[in-house]
Structure 1
């Protein structure tokens, strides 16, 4: 390869052609004056030439400049001094930076400044577009041009074909009688219509504004027109972020606001932030304007979502489960704000905020704001740090109730603040490990107990084993709390105490646990497996804790009590530390496991024996007597296509089942089914719905039996998929919810139809139906229709 400047190349051509003229050359994508040329004599034809590669979707490429050299490669070059034409023949390549032109023949006329390329012409644009044609004429230093039978490959597998195209100003391509698709083209039958295509009278690709506009357009499926659009515009497939209108959403029959539509506008503010505005217009209520702002920085991120609306939906009062009349507070000017931000101080510390507020739950229900259906909205500010074996976090929390059938905002607490620290040490000289946990808070309720707590838990574990194969674990543990509380006579404690009380507790505990696994190999047919039988015994000694009620102590983290296989060997079976399991007790169990060829059966049966009975626990807790209920668990995976887990708690005196749950999953090649079941003789959620310590006991809602079944199934075949589920309360003889989805998906298109029906009441709403149709076209966007 020899590189010549313009002066050297001209002198060479003078000697060969006796012509004093000089050449100018432009390449598709813009104009420039020839600065340098690379000439290939036949002697150098076998040298390796590196051709510029396509950068579809990666960059915009380097622009033409007056300083960078143009390089060409050809089998033969000739110059006609009479006509002023330079002709390149053979495998012609001409490129500069990311601009590439290839053809069998290229003729450049110096007089008319027109270049003509013919035969297998291909051009690579800086933005990654590749154009194919058989003939093209370019003028005005290649800024203007006309081409026949054009085929373009765009980013993200986009393809555009046209009868002809015109290039204007080096920035705009006008395609006549064009077809656009992002679907694969059949290799065996390239003339076969793709899955979908946009067939338009004219398409304009504006490379400066990075958009493609279509006019008089039909949307075809398999070559059959199904929808007409007089005008349609999309962002160029090579663009990842660009300002413009997004696909509108059409919703025909919302229960509360009628038919409505949203017309989102996306604003790419800069490389690190954007804003999406979504005005909503409905037939039964006032408009809404919502927005989402997103920004990402070197040390953090920010996401703000909010909206304002004029909610004119007529709402009637309704009665909740205990007969209270609930009046609407969601009319008139309404709004919501969801903010999430997080920032790194250094490699060990970060801080952030989550703010979630709404003027009313009715407003969130009417306009279907994300988060509706939850019991509460939670907001917090936090600072957290990570160290080797240590974690620290301080947070401030607030809650807003959304389901006024069971939650009043005045009952919800403000945590101002909550501090947590955890430490887990390395093995010490005695072979044990020390850990420390503390959770402290200041909590305020407008109606209910307000308290402050300082808490510290110290723990030391020392594992060891002996020659008999027994595995031992010695644990020394201390829990300590100190409280200052007021309004103890209100929820959730309901103590007969007025004024401010100061109390505390300290509970040292020593525990020794022994696991004694017996292992053997067995044979089943041609399979070999292992069997483990493992007796487990745990002895725990601690002072009697009395449950905490008679000590005038608040209860913030131990309201729920669940005795199952997961808490059988726990030092404290309450969820937190406001209530502690004291006294002496022995926990025993036997664990069995059978494993063969990737299949397994795992079981556990156990029971607890205690000297003291806690007084601050529900009657159906399973540990309200000296001998607890029997807890069982089984996990089975006997074949590759089935697995399941079941748990139960059995009263040893009556043989009644006081708790049971199970889940299973069966999956085949094109079909799957799953399900679950839960049973309890009460509804634990309602235990503290009112004062459970009166002579009448907990609310009648608590005393209703829970018996609920869930079933689901799914299937997929080729490009199709479908699923359905149902959830039914057997004790109440009514459905809880049902739903399903049916869809189709391939490389360039997806269609999903989703249906959901809710039977239970949430904030006065029941028997609500939701239907969603979602069509997604690759490179075009998603079209959603709700009903």
Structure 2
């Protein structure tokens, strides 16, 4: 008998080959040994450092004996078999048929996906699919030394591994922690770590809340084929009976995700409570993309009571858009629902529809760039009560608005020989507004509005000898928009942001129901330095001077007077992971009307973010007092296995904590423990203070607990 034939017989015993027919058509095997000889014409013996390679599977042993009369393999260990999927089978002694469909292994140990270890007194192979292990200890914890005890293990009378279904079946299973029994289960089924989507229970979590009491969440995962699944999570406590759900489905051209919950609790007796959040996106023909989100809740306090979301306004939308190099088209339908106690859904814009298109041309005869665009927008309120000039309470408002805005513009830019850049843009807007149920404005208004802007930039750039680069760029723009403001209501542009993005804009209103008119002058200075050491700093200063004051600009917009506030913005990044950014609006006295700042620092041991926000009192924005707050979030990796997280929100105006959170995580190669405590204090949007505690313990190595191979330790010898 040839050596390749013997090697083939031995390799038929490996899990990677399901039957002899497949093995017979596979590539020739390779057998390497110190000595090979034949006994009695029927026995072939290979001894000494035996290695067999076949179709990606590697077998090592001390001795292999093939008996042609009984057609069996006797393998003397230490035996080690590694298949292409990474499954490792170790044994002291094995007697197997040549196809390894049936056989016995003594002192067997199996390692699945380099994580889960199964040690047994003996193992039997059956039908080339099942491995039955007797008197088994199962763990993913690294055990060093004969006397070491794993952090956790499952002891079982018998474990059957179904190689085809990738499942583990336990009989008379006992969960032990530090070798102390804590749970007994007569039967248990768990997916092996190579199965990523297995039907069954996921990692449970314990939760304690001052509103809902102490309870447990037990997720159950149900896959439907390879492309959709459903997760059902009962949440039980003395004060609630809740069923959470999540449905996901992937299609060839998109995906959808639906999450929600239904509850009966003692907070609102005998009333069904719940929510549904859904979103998805799809690729349509001709490069169009469809996206949608649907958000609904049965009562306004549910999301806060169950710590699901901090949203106080829900938005549901469906939209289609297409982006091409010279064209942008979109259409969107949106529904809004407010959860704020001081807002009425009947008087808030509930349904909004908008669609439009913009296209760019580069005419060779005219030069420059020509843009043509149009937008249609409308929004509807459920209320049918019109607003009247005599109304003292403007909340009673059923105003409905529609508008058409068309624009044609031409722009070009030139650069002189000494670096001075000049740009010009001309605009012509056609606006038509339709207003219903508002006695303070005209029903129909149409305006044709021209505009022009001329800007000059003179960038100065220098490069130092060590490779650093510095840019200094002064900018000035003159703009003019003709006509005057039509008598249509300001229903969309009530919140204006003055920032670097619209410093040189002819209109700084966020929507086209308002435009700036008259003459204006904008000037700015931009500075940036890139250091050869890798840090980068930038600073922007800017201001706008207008011919006339615009009454629709609020104080906190920074644009209320003829002269705007000074816009100051800066950014800094460093290779160490530090990022700083700040922006503020300062008046001539140096007083801040609006400010925001953020800082982030990220490295191998730390993720830290902090932010600051200041908004002055502004009746035009329905803010009767200043608002100011700090927020802080961090994650600290204290050691390889321990990490902690912190969060805090402090209201500087009220001088009180708004939210405080603490998290602690321990993770090694076989377990992950997560603990989180959150305290939400009473506020205008959170009437009931609450404290929540969450604890999750996941056993690593099974599909349900996830992988932790990156934490695998090695034993010191």
TM-score by length of 1: 0.77
Matched, 1:313 2:313: no
Q: Which residue pairs with 2:563 in the alignment?
A: 627
Q: 1:450 aligns with which of 400, 403, 419?
A: 400
Unaligned residue ranges in structure 1 (runs of 5+) = 7-22, 31-53, 55-60, 316-329, 490-495, 690-701
Matched, 1:715 2:636: yes
Q: 2:310 aligns with which of 348, 373, 376?
A: 373
Task: Quote the Cα distance in structure 2 between the aligned partners of 1:440 and 1:641.
Answer: 44
Q: Which residue pairs with 2:585 in the alignment?
A: 649
Matched, 1:119 2:77: yes
Question: Secondary structure of 1:660's partner?
Answer: strand
Matched, 1:560 2:495: yes
Q: Which residue pairs with 1:262 in the alignment?
A: 217
Task: Quote the Cα distance in structure 1 between the aligned partners of 2:446 and 2:357.
Answer: 20
Unaligned residue ranges in structure 2 (runs of 5+) = 384-397, 707-717
Q: 2:13 aligns with which of 19, 28, 45?
A: 28
Whether the 8 Å contact between 2:527 and 2:540 is mirrored in structure 1 is yes
Task: Quote the Cα distance in structure 2 between the aligned partners of 1:299 and 1:642.
Answer: 39
Whether the 8 Å contact between 2:10 and 2:98 is mirrored in structure 1 is no
Q: Which residue pairs with 1:479 in the alignment?
A: 429
User: How big is each residue's C-alpha offset from its partner over 1:532-581, in whole Å with a ceiling of 9 and x where there is no partner?
Assistant: 443221101112543x5xx1x24343121123444322221111211111
Matched, 1:242 2:198: yes
After superposition, where does 1:99-114 map in structure 2 within 5 Å?
103-109=61-67, 114=72
Question: Secondary structure of 1:584's partner?
Answer: strand
After superposition, where does 1:752-763 map in structure 2 within 5 Å?
752-761=674-683
Whether the 8 Å contact between 2:566 and 2:585 is mirrored in structure 1 is yes
Task: Quote the Cα distance in structure 2 between the aligned partners of 1:144 and 1:86.
Answer: 21
| Cα distance, 1:687–1:613 mapped onto 2, change above 3 Å | closer
Q: Which residue pairs with 1:76 in the alignment?
A: 36
| Cα distance, 1:770–1:69 mapped onto 2, change above 3 Å | same
User: How big is each residue's C-alpha offset from its partner over 1:507-549, in whole Å with a ceiling of 9 and x where there is no partner?
Assistant: 22111111123344568xxx67454443221101112543x5x
Q: 1:150 aligns with which of 104, 108, 125?
A: 108
Question: Secondary structure of 1:361's partner?
Answer: coil
Whether the 8 Å contact between 2:12 and 2:98 is mirrored in structure 1 is no
Matched, 1:357 2:296: yes
Matched, 1:724 2:646: yes
Task: Quote the Cα distance in structure 2 between the aligned partners of 1:270 and 1:435.
Answer: 49
Task: Quote the Cα distance in structure 2 between the aligned partners of 1:748 and 1:424.
Answer: 58
Matched, 1:679 2:614: yes
Task: Quote the Cα distance in structure 2 between the aligned partners of 1:762 and 1:166.
Answer: 67
Task: Quote the Cα distance in structure 2 between the aligned partners of 1:605 and 1:293.
Answer: 49
Q: 1:541 aligns with which of 480, 498, 512?
A: 480
Q: Which residue pairs with 2:282 in the alignment?
A: 343
Q: Which residue pairs with 1:737 in the alignment?
A: 659
Question: Secondary structure of 2:21's partner?
Answer: coil
| Cα distance, 1:378–1:777 mapped onto 2, change above 3 Å | same
After superposition, where does 1:258-337 map in structure 2 within 5 Å?
258-285=213-240, 287-309=241-263, 311-315=264-268, 331-337=270-276
| Cα distance, 1:352–1:63 mapped onto 2, change above 3 Å | farther
Aligned length: 682
User: How big is each residue's C-alpha offset from its partner over 1:456-508, in whole Å with a ceiling of 9 and x where there is no partner?
Assistant: 2333221112234211121112333212121225xxxxxx25xx811133322
| Cα distance, 1:531–1:747 mapped onto 2, change above 3 Å | same
Per-residue deviation at 1:119?
A: 2.7
Task: Quote the Cα distance in structure 2 between the aligned partners of 1:375 and 1:194.
Answer: 48
| Cα distance, 1:303–1:589 mapped onto 2, change above 3 Å | closer
Q: Computing the radius of gyration over CA atoms, which structure comes out larger, 1 or 2? A: 1
CA RMSD of aligned residues (A): 3.8
Question: Secondary structure of 2:554's partner?
Answer: coil
Task: Quote the Cα distance in structure 1 between the aligned partners of 2:659 and 2:262.
Answer: 31
Whether the 8 Å contact between 1:258 and 1:282 is mirrored in structure 2 is yes
Question: Secondary structure of 2:518's partner?
Answer: coil
User: How big is each residue's C-alpha offset from its partner over 1:731-764, in whole Å with a ceiling of 9 and x where there is no partner?
Assistant: 2112222223232344554333323222253655
Task: Quote the Cα distance in structure 2 between the aligned partners of 1:306 and 1:669.
Answer: 36
Whether the 8 Å contact between 1:144 and 1:170 is mirrored in structure 2 is yes
Matched, 1:589 2:546: no
Question: Secondary structure of 1:65's partner?
Answer: helix
Whether the 8 Å contact between 2:152 and 2:175 is mirrored in structure 1 is no
Q: Which residue pairs with 2:458 in the alignment?
A: 516
TM-score by length of 2: 0.83
Per-residue deviation at 1:197?
A: 4.6
Task: Quote the Cα distance in structure 1 between the aligned partners of 2:530 and 2:559.
Answer: 33
Question: Secondary structure of 2:482's partner?
Answer: coil
User: How big is each residue's C-alpha offset from its partner over 1:264-285, in whole Å with a ceiling of 9 and x where there is no partner?
Assistant: 3222221222222333333223
Whether the 8 Å contact between 2:600 and 2:609 is mirrored in structure 1 is yes
User: How big is each residue's C-alpha offset from its partner over 1:35-64, in whole Å with a ceiling of 9 and x where there is no partner?
Assistant: xxxxxxxxxxxxxxxxxxx7xxxxxx6544
Question: Secondary structure of 1:411's partner?
Answer: coil
After superposition, where does 1:56-75 map in structure 2 within 5 Å?
63-65=19-21, 68-69=24-25, 74=31
Q: Which residue pairs with 1:770 in the alignment?
A: 692
Question: Secondary structure of 1:135's partner?
Answer: strand
Whether the 8 Å contact between 2:288 and 2:320 is mirrored in structure 1 is yes
User: How big is each residue's C-alpha offset from its partner over 1:8-53, in whole Å with a ceiling of 9 and x where there is no partner?
Assistant: xxxxxxxxxxxxxxx99994369xxxxxxxxxxxxxxxxxxxxxxx
Task: Quote the Cα distance in structure 2 between the aligned partners of 1:667 and 1:586.
Answer: 41
Task: Quote the Cα distance in structure 1 between the aligned partners of 2:682 and 2:591.
Answer: 29
Q: Which piece of structure 1 moves more, 503-512 or 655-664?
A: 655-664
Q: Which residue pairs with 1:697 in the alignment?
A: none
Q: Which residue pairs with 2:447 in the alignment?
A: 505
Question: Secondary structure of 2:24's partner?
Answer: coil
